Structure 1
Amino acid sequence: MARARAADGGAPTMRDVAARAGVSAMTVSRVLKDDPGVGADTRTRVLAAVDALGYRRNENARSLRLGGASGLVGLVVTNLANPFYSRLALGVQEVLSAHGLRVLLSNTGEHAERERDVVTDLVAHQVDGMIVVPAGSSQSHLAPAAVHHMPVVLASRPPAGMDADCVLVDDFGGAEEGTRQLISDGHRRIGFLGNPPVIYTGAERFRGYWAAHEAAGLQPDEQFVRRGLTDVAAAEAAARAILGAADAPTALFCTNNRMSQGAIRAVHALGRPVAIAGFDDFELSDVLGVLGVPLTIVAYDADEVGRRAARLLLERIGQAAGTGQAARRTVVPTRVIRYGAAPA
């Protein structure tokens, strides 16, 4: 049966329910709170009006009026097109939903100004806390005073100019181990496809790539280094340029799954046996290895990044304002997976 509409055509309010039932708004509120002092006939009329109008209480607004928690947590990420962030979000939701909290997800597209706007909105809505993957180098908008001392945990990238709990991946160690594996396979000319160096992960993974060369007594050839790449198409174009040069690299190290996918497309198009190592596992990477594209993947549990961030946030939410331990940092380990043969 079609539901009745509110008087103004919008979402029904408590006053609409009261008018339909012929009672006061206060009586409606008492019925919805299961007040035993409300008579059975009145309760029946109010509940019938609620059902007819499809009225739903705004629990968030109600809790704020009563000075309670909102039951909401903000999650701010930089690029939902990257599967890493969907896995991180699933990890966050897994932990928070078990504690009765809901997640408000926002995507900034790596735009610092958009991130500031999102954070401002979340603070205005008085969420219980935030988990943020920061987009820019300035994080003043996340400082305790700026967010009214709301609990904030950073994920994937560390705090800059402020103290905050954070969950990181072993970016340096993973990149060093992945590059070292290529060197162990006999590669001496290894190209590099990386995301912007201003991004923490990009800087740390480049540092690991360089450190592995230095440890082996090698010097990377900077003409085969491309940084500042942001998507698969840019990575493919960069890989084609690198591999088309004289004395081209026999291997490529890529700083994330989008870089790796671009490199794989370039290698396939050129029909040249080039080994690829990259951060972040991705769907069908094992199949590509079987099909003859030698892949070395630096993998880690992206869900665990989200789970750890959520646990840290829950601890902060449970602490009284102005109390608690110093900012904490936890690092999720990486491991190297080999798909297919990796000849030099």
Structure 2
Amino acid sequence: MRDVAERAGVAVVTVSRVVNGLGPVREETVDRVNAAISAIGYQRNEIARSLRPGQNSMTVGLLLGDLTNPFYASLAKAAVDVAKQDGYAVLLSTADEDPEVERRAVGELIGRRVAGLIVVPDQGDHAFLDEVNAHDRVPIVFVDRPATGAEADVVLVDNEGGGAAATQHLIDHGHRRIAIIVAPSYYTTGRRLRGYRKALRRSGVPADEDLVVTLRRGTTEDACAATHVLLTSARPPTAIFSTTGFLTEGVLRARQQLAAPVAVVGFDDFKLADMLPTPVTVVASDTEELGRHAARLLIDRISGEDGPTRRTVLPVRLIARGTGELRPQSQ
């Protein structure tokens, strides 16, 4: 189907509509798609075609970001477990934060006649998903982030509240020079940065923009390098708030390499965080509940729930273990 779309110069979703006789498609576009089908020799999946959209299918689609990130793996497992309990199989796809890959993946999932979609959206325009919802009658639930240009149920964690809690915790332990290392993200880490700024203002701590480090890539290696720069500067911070689990690993590595007594609070818990020589203080979200809640919402929609769109924000909690409770040696 992707090859047909590329040859006809249309979206995969459009090919799906032509092949399956769904929704309004201009006659000229239909002709182009059919010509591409003839040229390539594409054959429809007649089993999928025989299903009425969103009704008889017992399959749902799950479109995530980078599966090497334990956050998404945990979310996916929880969503799959809930779907299985209701008799649904799950088709898993990834987009790796690429809007074009995401569009193709959605088209392919729709072509397989999924009954609904759970999507971790990237930062592109998602107006095309409103069309999927309206024309293909496939309900969608966004998870971890809202989508730009599309209205659907969404399940989030309290990123801003978590950022404020992490920063306030460091302030309460005497810190005034608190750095933040921010992974590139159009929503989640941006809200965590907003919470950081909010806590500083609320406590009357002057903001120092030299202590706000926004990385080009959210890798452990980049976070380690950025922490080296911060801790070897003329006026190093006495505390660091890292906005993802990958970044926290990099901060801790640099901290150990430099033998620096800097306090650290990370967003997202990670394995062995409580087993390190100084256990790591974190703001933890319930990633599994994020996946479970999204799956429950989707199954409700598939089952006929037609109320207004719902926005659910799950709470986070600060787990004090040691690194976030270190007092500053100087300011």
Query: What TM bracket, shorter-length normalisation?
Result: 0.7 to 0.9
Shift of 1:66: 4.9
Q: Distance in 2 between matches of 1:131 and 1:145?
A: 13
Check whether the contact 2:123–2:148 (CA below 8 A) recurs between aligned residues.
no
Q: Which residue of 2 aligns with 1:305?
A: 290
Q: Does 1:81 align with 2:68?
A: yes
Q: Could you tell me which of 157, 164, 170 is aligned with 2:145?
A: 157
Q: Which residue of 1 aligns with 2:306?
A: 324
Q: Note closer, same or farther for the CA distance 1:199–1:66 as it changes in structure 2 (3 Å cut).
A: closer
Q: Distance in 1 between matches of 2:102 and 2:150?
A: 17
- Which 5+ residue runs of structure 2 have no aligned equivalent? 1-44
Q: Does 1:333 align with 2:321?
A: no
Q: Distance in 2 between matches of 1:94 and 1:179?
A: 35
Amino acid corresponding to residue 99 of structure 1 in structure 2:
D
Q: Which residue of 1 aligns with 2:22?
A: none
Q: Deviations over 1:247-275 (max 9, x none)?
A: 10011111110111110011011111011
Amino acid corresponding to residue 306 of structure 2 in structure 1:
G
Q: Does 1:120 align with 2:107?
A: yes
Taking structure 2 as the reference length, what is the TM-score of the superposition? 0.80
Check whether the contact 2:122–2:147 (CA below 8 A) recurs between aligned residues.
no
Amino acid corresponding to residue 293 of structure 2 in structure 1:
R
Q: Which residue of 1 aligns with 2:182?
A: 194
Shift of 1:158: 1.2
- Which 5+ residue runs of structure 1 have no aligned equivalent? 1-59
**Identity fraction in percent:** 40
Check whether the contact 1:154–1:309 (CA below 8 A) recurs between aligned residues.
yes
The structure that has the greater radius of gyration is 1
Taking structure 1 as the reference length, what is the TM-score of the superposition? 0.77
Q: Distance in 2 between matches of 1:88 and 1:69?
A: 26
Amino acid corresponding to residue 303 of structure 2 in structure 1:
G
Q: Does 1:245 align with 2:233?
A: yes
SS of aligned partner of 1:143: helix
Q: Distance in 2 between matches of 1:87 and 1:144?
A: 30
Q: Which residue of 1 aligns with 2:278?
A: 292
Check whether the contact 1:144–1:150 (CA below 8 A) recurs between aligned residues.
no
Q: Distance in 1 between matches of 2:250 and 2:152?
A: 35
Shift of 1:171: 0.3
Q: Which residue of 2 aligns with 1:205?
A: 192
Q: Distance in 2 between matches of 1:109 and 1:252?
A: 28
Shift of 1:155: 0.1
SS of aligned partner of 1:287: coil
Check whether the contact 1:277–1:296 (CA below 8 A) recurs between aligned residues.
yes
The root-mean-square deviation of aligned C-alpha atoms, in Å, is 1.7
SS of aligned partner of 1:339: coil
Q: Deviations over 1:46-105 (max 9, x none)?
A: xxxxxxxxxxxxxx9536425452221111111112111011101101110001111111
Check whether the contact 1:63–1:69 (CA below 8 A) recurs between aligned residues.
no
Shift of 1:223: 1.2
Alignment of 1:11-22 (within 5 A): none
Q: Note closer, same or farther for the CA distance 1:66–1:292 as it changes in structure 2 (3 Å cut).
A: closer
Q: Note closer, same or farther for the CA distance 1:127–1:226 as it changes in structure 2 (3 Å cut).
A: same
Q: Which residue of 2 aligns with 1:267?
A: 255
Check whether the contact 1:167–1:305 (CA below 8 A) recurs between aligned residues.
yes
Q: Distance in 2 between matches of 1:329 and 1:248?
A: 40
SS of aligned partner of 2:183: coil
Q: Distance in 2 between matches of 1:238 and 1:113?
A: 31
Q: Could you tell me which of 82, 102, 122 is aligned with 1:135?
A: 122
Q: Distance in 1 between matches of 2:162 and 2:138?
A: 33
Q: Which residue of 2 aligns with 1:51?
A: none
Q: Could you tell me which of 167, 170, 178 is aligned with 2:155?
A: 167
Shift of 1:219: 2.1
SS of aligned partner of 2:122: coil
Q: Distance in 2 between matches of 1:220 and 1:235?
A: 21
Check whether the contact 1:64–1:70 (CA below 8 A) recurs between aligned residues.
no
Q: Deviations over 1:171-222 (max 9, x none)?
A: 00011011100110111101111111x5210110000011110111012211
Q: Which residue of 2 aligns with 1:37?
A: none
Shift of 1:140: 1.5
Q: Could you tell me which of 59, 62, 65 is aligned with 2:47?
A: 62
Q: Does 1:280 align with 2:268?
A: yes
Check whether the contact 2:48–2:112 (CA below 8 A) recurs between aligned residues.
no
Check whether the contact 2:51–2:113 (CA below 8 A) recurs between aligned residues.
no
Q: Note closer, same or farther for the CA distance 1:155–1:184 as it changes in structure 2 (3 Å cut).
A: same
SS of aligned partner of 2:151: coil
